[in-house]
Amino acid sequence: MLRMKGVSKIYRTDLIETHALRDFSVEIDDGDFVAVTGPSGSGKTTLLNIAGLLESFDDGEYELDGVDMRGLNDDDCSEIRNEKIGFIFQSFNLMSDLNLFENVDVPLRYRGFKAAERKLRIEESLELVGLSGRMKHLPSQLSGGQQQRVAIARALAGTPKLLLADEPTGNLDSMMARQVLDLMDDINRAGTTIVMVTHDDELARRAKRNVHVLDGKVDDGEAYQPQQRENPVEVIA
């Protein structure tokens, strides 16, 4: 599904060049759950941004669903993001003056769904994350874990094939982080491909596969062994 070969990304200023990715190669299959780990500055977030078509790259190849992503214009990138890719960020990125229903609705409006279709998608996605009873609440009325689940619902409402998560539990305590990871496990089992950047080794073990990034390249050291959850943990609304 996702294939990068020899991808390089350089950030340039007047005085310095920073090589964020160097000859980076990875393949991620449909239905995979991949944790991307590595020290700060190793290129993890750059990898996620390129995968999500939020940034361009300088050299190499990137294919998504067999389609070459090189040389796409902004409109092409926006169309592919809206149709195929969902994003979950550490800071939630919810709009404080909109309630949960309206927050999930924003990207659906952008895609041009009719009102009835949007309503169905919003209700189904909020039900999935255990927040169907709080549609009219504002983000400020929720806990951090609940806000992250709204962000997940917003991403899922667009039925993405690929879900990109950048430190999705970074602002959560251990119990809320476990609930969010359990939810992501369930989403992955339903068929969505997930690529998750994390600094937490324990969280990385929850994924099916680990890609360790060092100095902008895939580190060939021993990957973390997956640690699959046996019993789902009930989401607390």
Decide if 179 contacts 30 (C-beta within 8 A). no
CATH superfamily of the 2-94+158-218 domain = P-loop containing nucleotide triphosphate hydrolases (3.40.50.300)
Which pLDDT belongs to residue 188?
94
- Beta-sheet pairing, 33-37 with 67-68: unpaired
Per-residue pLDDT at 15 exceeds 60: yes
Which pLDDT belongs to residue 116?
96
- Beta-sheet pairing, 2-12 with 17-28: antiparallel
Per-residue pLDDT at 225 exceeds 60: no
pLDDT tens-digit map of 121-139 = 999 999 999 999 999 999 9
Q: Which of 60-69, 101-110, 215-224 has the lowest mean pLDDT?
A: 215-224
Nearest Cα to Cα of residue 129 among 106, 99, 153, 100: 153
Distance in angstroms (rounded) separating the CA atoms of residues 184 and 168: 10
Distance in angstroms (rounded) separating the CA atoms of residues 156 and 234: 19
Per-residue pLDDT at 237 exceeds 50: no
Kindly state the helix (H) or strand (E) to which residue 21 belongs, with its residue range.
strand 17-28
Sheet strand arrangement including 217-218: 85-89, 162-166, 193-197, 33-37, 209-214, 217-218
Which pLDDT belongs to residue 26?
95
- Beta-sheet pairing, 209-214 with 33-37: parallel
Distance in angstroms (rounded) separating the CA atoms of residues 35 and 212: 8
CA angle, 17 as apex, 13 and 23 as ends, to 5°?
Answer: 135
Tokens of 18: 């920073």
Domain-wise residue ranges, the chain: 2-94+158-218
